[in-house]
Structure 1
Amino acid sequence: MKPTIPFHKPFTNQDELTAVDRVMSSGILRGDGPTSRELQSILCKDLPCKHLFFTTSCTHALEMAIMYLELNPGDEVIIPSFTFVSTANAIVIHGGVPVYADILPGTLNMDPDDVQKKITTRTRAVIPVHYAGVAADVNAIRTIIGSRNILIIEDAAQGVDATFDGKALGTLGDIGCFSFHDTKNITCGEGGAFITNLDEIARKAEIIREKGTNRSAFLRGEVDKYTWINKGSSFIQSDILAGILMAQWKKRHQIKQLRKSAWQSYYELLKKFEKTGHITLPVIPDNCESNYHIFFINTVNVDHRDALLSKLKESGIGASFHYVPLHSSPYGRQLSNDVINLPQTDYLSNSLIRLPLYPALESEHPDFAQRVEHVLTNFFN
């Protein structure tokens, strides 16, 4: 029996341990310390962006974005149903209504045409999710929004170090939200970031992030004391995690190149199964540079998906499905009695398989793609 190929492994070594030791030795472990400020400056330059605030998760960055909106009862935010629960939770927790848009085959990103159908006078924001490190079409969404007062909030949890028309994901809309969770390409275990190029949003965001106080202004010497001035919470990431993240950020080019090599190996060996109509492969549009976060395939139906997934696991390949669409989830059905018709979301989510993908995959399992190819060959024969 060949060794099991895990679905994911973070890419870490002594660099991260050294980074933690450096922070611990500094004696400053809280958030927004010198390590956080140094890394904040680096990311603002590298992306580039005007304002970036580290958070304890992408979930909290999304909550900050929704808190900025100050939703009223009945206000709507358009999101894909094919996304992680955090996208919807941020809306529901703060009194809004998630409205679900369908997705496109190939990228599994939000369908701008369906977004257009879902916009109403109650729409306050649209949240495109950049699935698998490939950009949703933010330009098309912005054109649809036009002059209406509707914000674009990017859920770029999977989009760190990917671009659209040469611009970093997370910097395309009014607000961007990053994840540095253990499962992401660049990780500090748990962490995130809130990004904006708009001064007005940044001023309010730093108050929300600092528990509703003007402490940040106090630390800059702009006020003689700080106090409670608005709603907020504790969303600040510690300097220990910032140290790990800095070590990871310095390796981002290596991480992306290793993931790209593995991604392309899958694509080259599996495209023959697409030609025979057994599966479809992911698409990276010409104006997108992926970060190769996920390699997925879609089968013809859920029965094929489940059977093939079982065969892959029996062969020691740590493949997995992905999201249960939010509109069909137990809580999603509680929130709305309406019949929600999202045909592409239903089909693509029920037929999707994610294959193992991480930086050390090729070095640890040189035959990883051939093993997947062998399982598919036997299955479809």
Structure 2
Amino acid sequence: MSVAAVPGRAWLSEQDCDLGAFRALVERTTDPAGYPHAASVVENVLVYEGERLRTAGDRHALRAELVRALAEGPGIVVVRAAFPEPDVVDRVTAVFEALIAEQRAAGATAGDHFAAPGANDRVWNALEKTALYDAEAFACYYANDVLALLATAWLGPGYQVTSQVNVVNPGGAGQTPHRDYHLGFLSNAVAAAYPAHVHRLSPALTLQGAVAHCAMPVESGPTLYLPYSQLYEPGYLAWRLPEFRDHFAAHHVQLPLDKGDAVFFNPALFHAAGTNRTADVRRTANLLQISSAFGRAMESVDREAVTNAVFPVLLRRKAAGASEEWLDNVIAASAEGYPFPTNLDSDPPVAGLAPPAQADLVRRALREAWHPARLREELRTAAERRES
């Protein structure tokens, strides 16, 4: 992770936040020559075409370019037609709407991280809820190869997907500018207690994403971004300070999106959902928090339940000729890809330095065409082995 370090500082404080140093980082121009796979640069943001990413020949070079864009470049990429099949997006949107209707009927008001509770329609843990509500829709959606490409490029294998639906209704106010998970969710006092190297490490543990589930013209308030702001090391302490918020207000960029477009960005990038100034657009986005295998996801997902729900879909799709990549993308989004933490007394490594992860068990079950009941039993047994 390339950031502007504060020389000699093992810990950071608000006194290290210098607007002049910040401006020197963010007031630059993105050179498209450094990103040969990008289709264009719009307002300093790299814009890619989904089909071009899918068909790129040198995958290693492509992943290296995407990492460079997120780490050292503008910190954000837009992928046009990342989800190219409208019916796949629409089916999951219908699930989101059903879940929101159920919440409203129950009188529940979802909290919000950076807006007033109830201002927007939120669905927390949408990944698990979607899988249990419509496993086929879940599988078709999370088989997406662009999502897998970005997640693998930034985080490597074994990543963990969580998602939260955010619907900003007509007239809905935007968010305050902020950074995100992990340190971005902490108060300045708590964040300052973590050493500087943790401030540099935190962004490498998560990939932020958002999938547009409707057309999002600028007046509907798509997310505001400040390119290159992820480079500023004291940024987790700076984003609440008035002078930095003022700079964000004056210099942010905002790109319209079409349904099926996706945005991926470094969680240290200063950003904020915009105000919906339309009279009729319910701006619906599936917000993705994709975590490194070496970190922990922001939500507690019952991946055993998700896996059991999705496995019959995997069996059917494999029998119908689905590619190995398609199947593995769904497994990566549903099953736990990392074997730890575990109880090494009852769940010791057998064929290596770690016991099999949940995802390894699912791959074996799919390879051997297990009956879903057998996988359910094996997953439960494996979970019990991990209990202390």
TM bin (shorter chain): under 0.3
TM-score scaled by length of structure 2: 0.24
TM-score scaled by length of structure 1: 0.24
